[in-house]
Structure 1
Amino acid sequence: MTTKYTDVNEFPQELRNSFKQNLTKPLNYRKKQLEQLYNLIDENEDEICDALYKDLHKNKIESLLGEIDMIRQECLDSINQLDEWTSPEYVKVSLAHKLNRCHIRKDPVGTVLIIGAWNYPITLVLCPLVGAIAAGCTAIIKPSELPMNSATLLCKLFPKYLDQRSYRCINGGSKEMTELLTYKFNHIFFTGSGVVGKIIMSAACKHLTPVTLELGGKSPAILDDNINITVTAKRLIWSKSFNAGQTCVAPDYVLCTKKIQEALLLEFPKVIENQFGKDVQKSSDYARIINQRHFDRLTNLLDQTKGNVVIGGKTDRDNLFIDPTIVTNVPKDDKLMEDEIFGPILPIVVVESIDEAIEYINEKDTPLSLYPFSNNNDTIKQMPNLPFGGTGASGIGAYHGREDHVTRIATIIST
Structure 2
Amino acid sequence: MTSDDIAGIVAERRRAFEAGITKPLAWRRQQLNGIRRMLEDHSAEFEAAVAADLHRNPTETQLADVNVVLSEVAHALRHLKSWAAPKRASLPLALQPAKGWVVREPLGVALVIAPWNYPIQLLLGPVVAAIAAGNAVVMKPSELAPATSAVFAKLVPDYLDARAVAVVEGAVEETTALLAKRFDHIFYTGGARVGRIVAEAAAKHLTPITLELGGKSPVYVDDSVHLETAARRIAWGKYFNAGQTCVAPDYLLGTREVLDAVVPLIEKAVREFYGSDPQASGDYARIVNPGRFDALAGMLGDGTAVLGG
| TM-score higher than 0.5 | yes
Structure 1's consecutive aligned runs of 4 or more residues displaced over 3 angstroms after TM superposition are: 3-6, 92-98
Question: What is the distance in 1 between the residues matched to 2:91 and 2:204?
Answer: 38
What letter is aligned with 1:172? Answer: G
With over 3 angstroms needed to count, the CA separation of the structure-2 counterparts of 1:288 and 1:60, relative to structure 1, is same
Question: What is the distance in 1 between the residues matched to 2:178 and 2:230?
Answer: 44
Question: What is the distance in 1 between the residues matched to 2:68 and 2:297?
Answer: 32
Structure 1 residue aligned with 2:157: 159
Instruction: Report the alpha carbon displacement of residue 266 of structure 1 after superposing the two structures with TM.
Output: 2.6
**Structure with greater proportional helix content:** 2
What letter is aligned with 2:271? Answer: E
Structure 1 residue aligned with 2:248: 250
Question: What is the distance in 1 between the residues matched to 2:246 and 2:87?
Answer: 34
2:170 aligned counterpart, secondary structure: coil
Structure 1 residue aligned with 2:176: 178
Instruction: Report the alpha carbon displacement of residue 308 of structure 1 after superposing the two structures with TM.
Output: 4.2
1:253-297 CA deviation, whole Å, 9 max, x = no partner?
A: 221111111111231122112212232221101000000000000
Question: What is the distance in 2 between the residues matched to 1:120 and 1:158?
Answer: 18
Runs (5+) with no aligned partner, structure 2: none
Question: What is the distance in 1 between the residues matched to 2:193 and 2:63?
Answer: 28
Structure 2 residue aligned with 1:312: 308
Structure 1 residue aligned with 2:225: 227
Structure 2 residue aligned with 1:280: 278
With over 3 angstroms needed to count, the CA separation of the structure-2 counterparts of 1:187 and 1:168, relative to structure 1, is same
What letter is aligned with 2:167? Answer: C
1:199 and 2:197 are equivalent in the alignment: yes
Structure 1 residue aligned with 2:265: 267
Sequence identity of aligned pairs in percent?
40
2:193 aligned counterpart, secondary structure: helix
1:131 aligned counterpart, secondary structure: helix
Instruction: Report the alpha carbon displacement of residue 22 of structure 1 after superposing the two structures with TM.
Output: 0.8
What letter is aligned with 2:35? Answer: L
Alignment of 1:92-241 (within 5 A): 92-241=90-239
Instruction: Report the alpha carbon displacement of residue 12 of structure 1 after superposing the two structures with TM.
Output: 1.0
2:271–2:308: 8 Å Cα contact kept in structure 1?
no
What letter is aligned with 1:121? Answer: P
2:104 aligned counterpart, secondary structure: strand
Instruction: Report the alpha carbon displacement of residue 312 of structure 1 after superposing the two structures with TM.
Output: 2.9
Select the residue among 43, 46, 53 that pairs with 1:45: 43
Alignment of 1:362-381 (within 5 A): none
**Quick check: 219-228 or 100-109, which moved more?**
219-228
1:224 aligned counterpart, secondary structure: coil
Question: What is the distance in 2 between the residues matched to 1:8 and 1:50?
Answer: 29
1:168 aligned counterpart, secondary structure: strand
Instruction: Report the alpha carbon displacement of residue 94 of structure 1 after superposing the two structures with TM.
Output: 3.6
Instruction: Report the alpha carbon displacement of residue 63 of structure 1 after superposing the two structures with TM.
Output: 0.3
Runs (5+) with no aligned partner, structure 1: 314-415
2:113–2:187: 8 Å Cα contact kept in structure 1?
yes
1:188–1:209: 8 Å Cα contact kept in structure 2?
yes
Q: Indicate the RMSD between aligned Cα atoms, in angstroms.
A: 1.4
Instruction: Report the alpha carbon displacement of residue 17 of structure 1 after superposing the two structures with TM.
Output: 1.0
With over 3 angstroms needed to count, the CA separation of the structure-2 counterparts of 1:294 and 1:307, relative to structure 1, is closer
1:283-326 CA deviation, whole Å, 9 max, x = no partner?
A: 101000000000000010111x22444x333xxxxxxxxxxxxx
1:5–1:172: 8 Å Cα contact kept in structure 2?
no
1:140 aligned counterpart, secondary structure: strand
With over 3 angstroms needed to count, the CA separation of the structure-2 counterparts of 1:40 and 1:89, relative to structure 1, is same
Structure 2 residue aligned with 1:321: none
What letter is aligned with 1:91? Answer: A
2:99 aligned counterpart, secondary structure: strand
With over 3 angstroms needed to count, the CA separation of the structure-2 counterparts of 1:97 and 1:249, relative to structure 1, is same
2:103 aligned counterpart, secondary structure: strand
Structure 2 residue aligned with 1:399: none
Equivalences, count: 309
Instruction: Report the alpha carbon displacement of residue 91 of structure 1 after superposing the two structures with TM.
Output: 2.8
Question: What is the distance in 1 between the residues matched to 2:239 and 2:43?
Answer: 23
Structure 2 residue aligned with 1:16: 14
Question: What is the distance in 2 between the residues matched to 1:101 and 1:247?
Answer: 48
Question: What is the distance in 2 between the residues matched to 1:205 and 1:106?
Answer: 24
Question: What is the distance in 1 between the residues matched to 2:286 and 2:185?
Answer: 33
1:8-51 CA deviation, whole Å, 9 max, x = no partner?
A: 12011111111111110000010001111111111000000001
Instruction: Report the alpha carbon displacement of residue 96 of structure 1 after superposing the two structures with TM.
Output: 3.2
What letter is aligned with 2:19? Answer: Q
Structure 2 residue aligned with 1:88: 86
Structure 2 residue aligned with 1:60: 58
